[in-house]
Structure 1
Amino acid sequence: MKYGKLITSAMSAVILSGIVSTSFGAETSKKIEIERIGGKDRVETSLMIAKKMNSKAVYIASGKDFPDALSISPLAAEAGIGIVLAMDNTDLNKELKDMGIMTTSVIGGSNSVSDEMFKNLSKDFVSNRLYGKDRYETSEIIARGMKYFNVGIATGKNFPDALVSGPLLGKKGMAMLLIDGNKSTSLPDNFKGIYTFGGKSSVATDFGKRIAGMDRYETSEKIASEYDKYDTVILASGTNFADALAVSPLSKKLNAPILLTDGNSLSDGAKKIINSVKKVVIVGGEKSISKSLENSIFGSKSESKDVKTDEKNEKNEKNRKNEDSDKNTQKNLEKLVNEANNDKIKPSNIQATRKPVVDKIKISPYTNPAQRGTTQVINLEIEGKNLTEKEKEDLEWKILDPQDGISINDKGHLTVFSDTKAKKVTVSATTKLSGDGVENKTATTEIIIENPKQ
């Protein structure tokens, strides 16, 4: 098992929005806002969704298969971090840099996201990789590594139940644990099942409250009923996982449950839910959710907006938010400076008794020793007396015996690339403090790079 610290462009896609009237039989007509988020492919759609999260970090998961993105979705939702889908060796660097991304966390092994792509990401971002021997171990590593022991259970063999439950778990601060629902009758040590998603054919054993409908569509409606109040829903395909894989963080941000559709029709239950909200976000292009479905539900007569005016207003609003964000960032920086200055002018006798030092470097048990033949980021942490959290983060990291294929950044993330010929590496961390009574100290550790296990 490998565990690295989770962090937690002009695109040709079109976002369609408008105000249209709904009419479900004899029910009262009302006006509802519609937004469609759909790119030319699943990668671009995921980038569009991630862009809306305004985060400095993203999770990267395979767009070819669903398990890795499902496992990370509750954590991504809770942290407000976008999930970007990758296909083979897609170069994402330019788009991610344009979004202001600083950190990328790759979920899954090299069969999911190639070592070549990981190495390319590492050129421009602080990057790490998290994976287990299979989808089940990967979901366990994510939950255990973040100390989320209250979990929701779903089958790892199919996607719909886990897809719609991820945002709910993120909302409640729980992890997703994927299991082989036909074989697993117990959970790994320390885990407690709070929810079981899907019917007995998906997960045979009850682990906590079971939420299941007659099919995947009704299950999504029942999960929506677990939300207290909401005025927005997200509509996604229940037959194709790709577009909806990336939407969990946005779902949590909007407090919007995900409803599934076959792309051409909705159940009566879904129509009733939609009739009670103010906004529907459709994820995916018209090949996933047809225009005829949109028209049949929301009515073909829409009060369309001037697209150019909308784009201009959206740009102005974005600029205003960026200005507000810059002001808040400046305030936070000023606060940190003031706190640091206040710390420096404490009475000398208090400073003298404090003496922050680094005692040792702690290496995550999931990455010690390093495994040759895989590219990974080893998470190095400090244990020290009298060190504040800020001081633990403000350290000078060095490789004492520099070697090709190994690098370290100022956060203590040691990247060991798969092509390195090194057999071991020695790393040091030194405090960067000044003032009377402060003792700077260096700690070192040696990491052995083993040959692959036979």
Structure 2
Amino acid sequence: MKKSVLKIFSCGLLATLLFNSSVVFATEAKNENAIQMMMESEANNSPENVFNFSGEWVESSVETTTKRLYGGNNTGRYETAVAISKEKWANGSDTIVLVTGMDYPDALSATPLAAKHSAPILLTENKKLPQSVKAEIKRLSASNAIIVGGNGAVSKEVETELKAMGVATRRIDGKDRYNTAVNIAKEIGTENGIAVAYGLNYADALSIAPVAGKLSMPIILTPSNYMNEDVKKFIASTEINETVIVGGVGAISYEVASAFPNPMRIGGQNRFETNVNVLSIFGNWLNYDEVYVATGMNYPDALSGSAAAAMTGSPLILANAYEIDDNTTIYANFLRAKKVYGLGGQAILSNEVLSYIGEAAQYFDIQNIKSKPVTINKNQFAILPSAVFVLPDGKTINQALPKIVEIQWQTEDLVIDTSIAGEKIYTGVVKGHDINDDKYKVELKVIVK
């Protein structure tokens, strides 16, 4: 990852998402007053220029729809992965990535590998392929399977079953989860940097997985308080420009984080805040037409969904069965999605939570966007944002949450030239629309002084 890209991260949405409590839906009641109070408090303490854009919010003919992808009660994780594969790989896939459905260590680094091969992630039992997975491999017409993990995770018997189906197999494994992650990283490459997550839990790795897949960043796992020897050798022998550390100092200590090249930490007070902070800071690389929602309290559904999310660069939001962290609530309100996918059954992701996020992420047709001038210091690094906050005309952040709108700027170089003082007008268009349609044209005045 180029150094200039890392600087963009600090310009993300993180400053507007500094909340740490929960909305509980056990009785289907939403603590909206508390959220509103926090919104107003944050707005009163935010710089005036955080929200530079406003526009007309028009009810769209495009209705935000929610769809649950899930399996049965007894073998749900395997069939949920199959349902995701059927939905997002409807036309088949030459390659699948196969991981154990029984534990998470080897699987945590699989998403960027799946993204590299445009492949779904399917789950298997240790000793045999579930029938639903077999049927899906046939439907996909897959001819190659990449098995992640050793024989203790995915046995040779499973490998034999695949070969009997006419599927060529190869295995990426290691002596432990850290070595497996390193071996996957060697295949993906480190040109775009690496992501580092705590290896003894799954939540932080799941948060970064779709982003890492989209950006071709391998996920390296680490213990909390020391550097694994295989990881240490890999770091020493590999050119790595940037490192994204995912999780707080309780997950990855300061000493361990500092041992990686050019580390930048993205954390939070809990897994849900970390999830939102990851999505916010990498907002410039996300596509908001589709949103995925999965439980943050277990790994299989989010893991399978992360491969689909990586394909389209979509946010993967973590939630609890009957509870949404307030960071998540506010982030969901920023979105204007056309489709919201819920991953897994109601026992792990309730209808109330899925419906609330679907309603919060309601799609509006936003037109006639106006912007305030942006002032930048001479020689300061700056880049045109691919996604901006747009408030309803006449409203302040105290009165309404903005929506994220993706902008396509009419310039090949998104880096703003700040070497010379002066003013410049940049022209863009709301993603998906014609630059000649004035309703969707966006102009931004940049003042360098």
Structure 1 residues 178-225: Cα deviation after superposition (integer angstroms, max 9, x where no partner): 111221185453153520000111111324111111110001101111
Letter in 1 for 2:302: A
Instruction: Give the structure 2 partner of residue 177 of structure 1.
Output: 220
1:295 positional shift: 4.3
Letter in 1 for 2:81: S
Structure 1 residues 378-404: Cα deviation after superposition (integer angstroms, max 9, x where no partner): xxxxxxxxxxxxxxxxxxxxxxxxxxx
Instruction: Give the structure 2 partner of residue 37 of structure 1.
Output: 69
Letter in 1 for 2:238: N
Match of 1:280, SS state, is strand
* Whole-angstrom CA distance in 2 between matches of 1:29 and 1:238: 34
Q: Is the aligned partner of 1:190 residue 2:228?
A: no
Structure 1 residues 137 and 299: CA distance shift in structure 2, 3 A: closer
Structure 1 residues 322-368: Cα deviation after superposition (integer angstroms, max 9, x where no partner): xxxxxxxxxxxxxxxxxxxxxxxxxxxxxxxxxxxxxxxxxxxxxxx
In the superposition, the TM-score normalised over structure 1's length comes to 0.57
Letter in 2 for 1:131: D
Q: Percent identity?
A: 28
In the superposition, the TM-score normalised over structure 2's length comes to 0.58
* Whole-angstrom CA distance in 2 between matches of 1:130 and 1:55: 19
CA contact (8 A) 2:340 2:358 kept: no
Match of 1:273, SS state, is helix
Q: Which is greater in Rg?
A: 1
Letter in 1 for 2:329: K
Instruction: Give the structure 2 partner of residue 153 of structure 1.
Output: 196
Structure 1 residues 191 and 176: CA distance shift in structure 2, 3 A: farther
Instruction: Give the structure 1 partner of residue 264 of structure 2.
Output: 209
Q: Is the aligned partner of 1:47 residue 2:100?
A: no
The aligned runs of 1:437-448 (5 Å cut-off) are none
Structure 1 residues 295 and 143: CA distance shift in structure 2, 3 A: closer
The aligned runs of 1:273-288 (5 Å cut-off) are 273-275=331-333, 276-278=335-337, 279-288=339-348
Instruction: Give the structure 2 partner of residue 107 of structure 1.
Output: 148
* Whole-angstrom CA distance in 1 between matches of 2:58 and 2:350: 22
1:77 positional shift: 2.3
1:153 positional shift: 0.7
Q: Mark the runs of 5 or more structure 2 residues left unpaired by the alignment.
A: 1-29, 40-56, 363-449
Letter in 2 for 1:135: R
CA RMSD of aligned residues (A): 2.7
Aligned to 1:90, which of 126, 129, 144? 129
Letter in 2 for 1:64: M
Structure 1 residues 103 and 290: CA distance shift in structure 2, 3 A: same
* Whole-angstrom CA distance in 2 between matches of 1:266 and 1:29: 28
Instruction: Give the structure 2 partner of residue 80 of structure 1.
Output: 118
* Whole-angstrom CA distance in 1 between matches of 2:208 and 2:99: 18
CA contact (8 A) 2:116 2:188 kept: no
1:166 positional shift: 1.3
Match of 2:268, SS state, is coil
The aligned runs of 1:15-414 (5 Å cut-off) are 32-40=64-72, 41-51=76-86, 52-53=88-89, 54-88=92-126, 89-91=128-130, 92-124=133-165, 125-148=167-190, 150-184=193-227, 186=232, 187-190=235-238, 192=240, 193-204=242-253, 205-206=256-257, 207=260, 208-225=263-280, 226-228=282-284, 229-231=286-288, 232-275=290-333, 276-278=335-337, 279-296=339-356
1:23 positional shift: 12
Structure 1 residues 126-151: Cα deviation after superposition (integer angstroms, max 9, x where no partner): 11112111110001011113433631
* Whole-angstrom CA distance in 2 between matches of 1:77 and 1:141: 16
Letter in 2 for 1:254: T
Highest RCO, 1 vs 2 (Cα 8 Å, sep ≥ 6): 2
* 246-255 vs 184-193, greater mean Cα deviation: 184-193
In the comparison of the two structures, how many residue pairs are matched? Answer: 280
* Whole-angstrom CA distance in 1 between matches of 2:199 and 2:351: 31
Match of 1:36, SS state, is strand
